[in-house]
Chain A
Amino acid sequence: MTSISEDSDKEKVRSVSVDLNNDASLVIDIPDALCERDKVKFTVHTKTTLSSFQKPEFSVPRQHEEFIWLHDTIVETEEYAGLIIPPAPPKPDFEGPREKMHKLGEGESSMTKEEYAKMKQELEAEYLAVFKKTVQVHEVFLQRLSSHPIFRKDRNFQIFLEYDQDLSVRRKNAKEMFGGFFKNMVKSADEVLISGVKEVDEFFEQEKTFLLDYSSKIKDASAKAEKMTRSHKNVADDYNHISGALNSTAADNNTAFKKTISVCVLQKLEDRVASDQELKLTELLRYYTRDIQAAKDLLYRRARALADNENSNKALDKARLKGKDIAQAEENQKQCLQKFDKLSESGKKELTSFKARRVVAFRKNLIEMTELEIKHAKVRRLKQKCQKSNLKKIDPGPQNQS
């Protein structure tokens, strides 16, 4: 069972999105989380001055599935069609650390005590990193909702925050999962729809072009960044093995050799970089890949509405021609137009603020990442310089060691 409850870490952890939790009337965070086997239990903590809530401060335990339920209900709410729906947090993925733990267990007999201890330490650090990441990503999801003027009033959101019993979220049955798959298929067909539909509005035309291109680029950059950080981890692991091997070489050799070798403490040089860089760069890219997808979904819904609008116009013309069901067609057309206009208006607002948010988030993360890189490089350089001067000071020692 692992838990984090470091308040000081929160600032660092909340790295991806900015401008959240500025409004004191509804402040949400996840101060604590427990991990039992495969299940992570998040403690969702709310502080509010709004009268719609029963108490000014309260906490509830929530699991990942309940977050997904919340996301899905919001997506399915017709009213929110013109809004960018904050992307659902990805499932907690402990596969990496678990695999390592497995390897550790298997290789225990062939390792020295120091190696084992060090690997165990590494494993714990990795585990903690995954843990922190998943807490962060779930927290940001809630904070996106709470800082949005419309979402924060959502009834289901309120229930999620407040209801202290188990939400009894049904696991999706086969039909629903299949439905989801079908929905995704339709979605990608709609990419064609989005690009195919004739756009009258300059703003949306530009956004469409931009988002379609940017979406594929950021997905690619995110994947490449992840590969890069994985390589970094491999190099860090190698350094750990080497330092372990160096220590055992030093253990029973002539003293001069021992002194020479044990000065060389190369581990820990690379792994900090790997995990900090990961948090800043790759998480940023991963998050915005999902967010861009949410923006595209908005465009899709609007394109749908536009298509409906055009269809309703055609239907009205046809009805007028035929002289039948005119009133119904008129009503339909009016509604379609209303829906489309509403979507366009709120969509414009959302996309504009999305761009601003994205730019700010990139700036913050790039700055923080760069500052960390510089800091760590300086630390490493200092360490290496010290080692070098220590090594130079060492007298190679007397000749024959017997």
Chain B
Amino acid sequence: SNDAENTAAHHRNTLQFNTYSHRKQLFSVCVTLSEATEEVSLDSPERQPILSDGPSPVITPVTPVMISSRADVFDRSPDQDEDEEENRDTFDIQISVSDPEKVGDGMNAYMVYKVLTKTSLSIFSRDEVCVKRRFSDFLGLHSKLASKYMHMGYIVPPAPEKSIVGMTKVKVGKEDLSSVEFVEKRRSALERYLLRTVKHPALLKDPDVLQFLESSELPRAVSTQALSGAGILRMVNKAADAVNKMTIKMNESDAWFEEKQQQFENLDVQLRKLHASVESLVCHRKELSVNTASFAKSAAMLGNSEDHTALSRALSQLAEVEEKIDQLHQDQACADFYLISELLGDYVRLITAVKGVFDQRMKTWAKCQDAQVMLQRKREAEAKLQHANKPDKLQQAKDEIREWEGKVQQGERDFEQISKNIRREVGRFEKDRVKDFRVVIIKYLESLVHTQQQMIKYWEAFLPEAKAIA
């Protein structure tokens, strides 16, 4: 019906207006700066095949890589200025995900988002590229990056979560507020995901990332569907990993790793708790808004009923003030959510990725151990063959020993490499974490201050009305 559409449109516009300012803020939130002296070295491609579709050009190691965001001109926070002064070489990249569009109908429908990249980096073919992507494209990108880099100890930013309920509503065509909110939430999450991904110096150069951002046609990532063959394989692997984790008993020689793992376990628990509390706050704040609006209406009716003129007018004014305050509550709830709650959610998922990387190191260690055991066995076999008269088998045994010696060396190198990578990644993560939270909390405090300003303004306007009752 028209009414529902109009309301939905109004809400959408309001929501977009509300989140537009938050989006601007999020720009500067997610893309923060790395220090000048960070070294980025990519492992040479010879070791394990890089599993990706399409050609993969050779990636050369790059030294100082810095990424800064050129936030909107009129929304430049003083923080960005300070930080940029510190760094000499600055690269610029700006990514926005916008304009969700529904394509198709019924259960086969899907949302398509516009991904706009603005950059001065030379690895991109143009200054400004705009492509259309759907949610499964993002999942596909993440899946490729994870398979390429996680085993090397890189923390690959996790993609936003799937939501069957949310998507079904959208597919079915419900134009109500909750599906509008769902699409906005997803859009925002996709944007943050891309920003975090390109913030990683290695991932920025990755051909799959470049292809994702630049090429107009992208092969459909079917393996991201939950019930596809690949999906099932993923589930099986996850289960296998869990079992392995329990059975691998690693001799930790490096206290740093043990400490860090414990730290991340704690952080995980705490962030989840915090996230739950903030979600509760968002919910209650929305309730407060509804109840305030309801009271405003009731106060207006009371004002109409009141027969004392001045009091009647004052009550009507009170109703108006409460209405405005209701709007404030709504906006604040938005800020609560988009700034804090989503940030916490992102970090809970990021920490899972961090923990995954530690697990990869354990797996690498186990592999190295297995190789050593194998080598030992081969040596024993060779020793036995020394006394038998089988020159062919002896040669084979010697060959195998050489092969496994090589594998052991490789395994040790891998382990060293992943340990080194993890140290570096964790360092980067820690710094980013502090910056992210700091920026977001500052923005949040700003929103709180703004709310208070408005409240003061409204109540100060009301006070003479109250005093005028005679």
Assess whether B462 is in contact with A217, with CB atoms less than 8 Å apart.
no
Assess whether B302 is in contact with A388, with CB atoms less than 8 Å apart.
no
**Which among B140-148, B160-168, B440-448 touches the partner chain?**
B440-448
Assess whether B431 is in contact with A391, with CB atoms less than 8 Å apart.
no
A233-257: CB near B (< 8 Å → 1, else 0) gives 0110011011001101100111011
Interface residue from A223, A241, A359, A388 paired with B446 (Cβ < 8 Å): A388
Assess whether A264 is in contact with B301, with CB atoms less than 8 Å apart.
no
List, in ascending order, chain A residues with CB within 8 A of B438's CB.
Answer: 260, 391, 394, 396
Interface residue from B79, B281, B292, B467 paired with A242 (Cβ < 8 Å): B281
Interface residue from A254, A359, A384, A385 paired with B434 (Cβ < 8 Å): A254
Interface check A55, CB cutoff 8 A: no
Interface check A228, CB cutoff 8 A: yes
- Contact-size category for B: 35 or more
Interface check B377, CB cutoff 8 A: no
Interface residue from A210, A213, A230, A235 paired with B281 (Cβ < 8 Å): A235
Main DSSP-derived SS at the B contact region: helix
Assess whether A391 is in contact with B445, with CB atoms less than 8 Å apart.
yes
Docked CA distance A320–B431 (Å): 104
* Smallest Cβ-Cβ distance to A391: which chain B residue: B442
List, in ascending order, chain B residues with CB within 8 A of A371's CB.
Answer: 463
Assess whether A246 is in contact with B274, with CB atoms less than 8 Å apart.
yes
Assess whether B431 is in contact with A396, with CB atoms less than 8 Å apart.
yes
Assess whether A221 is in contact with B298, with CB atoms less than 8 Å apart.
yes
Assess whether A363 is in contact with B311, with CB atoms less than 8 Å apart.
yes
Assess whether B288 is in contact with A232, with CB atoms less than 8 Å apart.
yes
Interface check A366, CB cutoff 8 A: yes
List, in ascending order, chain A residues with CB within 8 A of B263's CB.
Answer: 252-253
The answer to whether A221 and B256 touch (CB under 8 A), given A246-B274, A260-B437, is: no
Interface check A387, CB cutoff 8 A: yes
Assess whether A377 is in contact with B284, with CB atoms less than 8 Å apart.
no
- Contact-size category for A: 35 or more
Q: Which of A210, A224, A230, A388 has the most CB of B within 10 A?
A: A224
Assess whether A367 is in contact with B463, with CB atoms less than 8 Å apart.
yes
List, in ascending order, chain A residues with CB within 8 A of B278's CB.
Answer: 238, 242
List, in ascending order, chain B residues with CB within 8 A of A355's CB.
Answer: 307-308
Interface check A157, CB cutoff 8 A: no
Interface residue from B256, B271, B285, B435 paired with A402 (Cβ < 8 Å): B256
Interface check B466, CB cutoff 8 A: yes
Assess whether B435 is in contact with A396, with CB atoms less than 8 Å apart.
yes
Interface residue from A224, A245, A254 paired with B273 (Cβ < 8 Å): A245
**Which among B124-132, B177-185, B452-460 touches the partner chain?**
B452-460
Assess whether A370 is in contact with B463, with CB atoms less than 8 Å apart.
yes
Assess whether B307 is in contact with A210, with CB atoms less than 8 Å apart.
yes
The smallest C-beta distance from A133 to any residue of chain B, in angstroms, reads 20
B214-273 contacts to A (CB < 8 Å):
256, 259, 263, 266-267, 270-271, 273
Docked CA distance A249–B272 (Å): 10
Assess whether A399 is in contact with B452, with CB atoms less than 8 Å apart.
no
B283-332 contacts to A (CB < 8 Å):
284-285, 287-288, 291-292, 294-295, 297-299, 301-302, 304-308, 310-311, 314-315, 318
List, in ascending order, chain B residues with CB within 8 A of A387's CB.
Answer: 445
List, in ascending order, chain B residues with CB within 8 A of A377's CB.
Answer: 452, 455-456, 459
List, in ascending order, chain A residues with CB within 8 A of B449's CB.
Answer: 381, 384-385, 388
Interface check A225, CB cutoff 8 A: yes
Assess whether A239 is in contact with B306, with CB atoms less than 8 Å apart.
no
Assess whether B308 is in contact with A249, with CB atoms less than 8 Å apart.
no
Docked CA distance A253–B271 (Å): 12
Interface check B469, CB cutoff 8 A: yes
The smallest C-beta distance from B261 to any residue of chain A, in angstroms, reads 13
Interface check B430, CB cutoff 8 A: yes
Assess whether A224 is in contact with B294, with CB atoms less than 8 Å apart.
yes
List, in ascending order, chain A residues with CB within 8 A of B470's CB.
Answer: 363
Interface check A129, CB cutoff 8 A: no
B411-439 contacts to A (CB < 8 Å):
423, 426-427, 430-431, 433-435, 437-438
Interface residue from A217, A241, A242, A362 paired with B298 (Cβ < 8 Å): A217
Docked CA distance A261–B297 (Å): 40
Q: What are 19 of the A-B contact pairs (CB < 8 Å)?
A: A206-B307, A213-B305, A214-B302, A221-B299, A232-B288, A257-B434, A260-B437, A264-B441, A363-B467, A363-B470, A367-B467, A380-B448, A381-B453, A381-B456, A384-B445, A387-B445, A388-B446, A392-B442, A400-B427
Beyond A214-B307, A366-B314: 20 further Cβ-contacts under 8 Å?
A: A213-B305, A218-B302, A224-B291, A225-B298, A228-B288, A231-B284, A231-B292, A232-B288, A235-B285, A242-B277, A252-B263, A358-B308, A359-B308, A359-B469, A370-B459, A374-B456, A377-B452, A380-B452, A400-B423, A400-B430
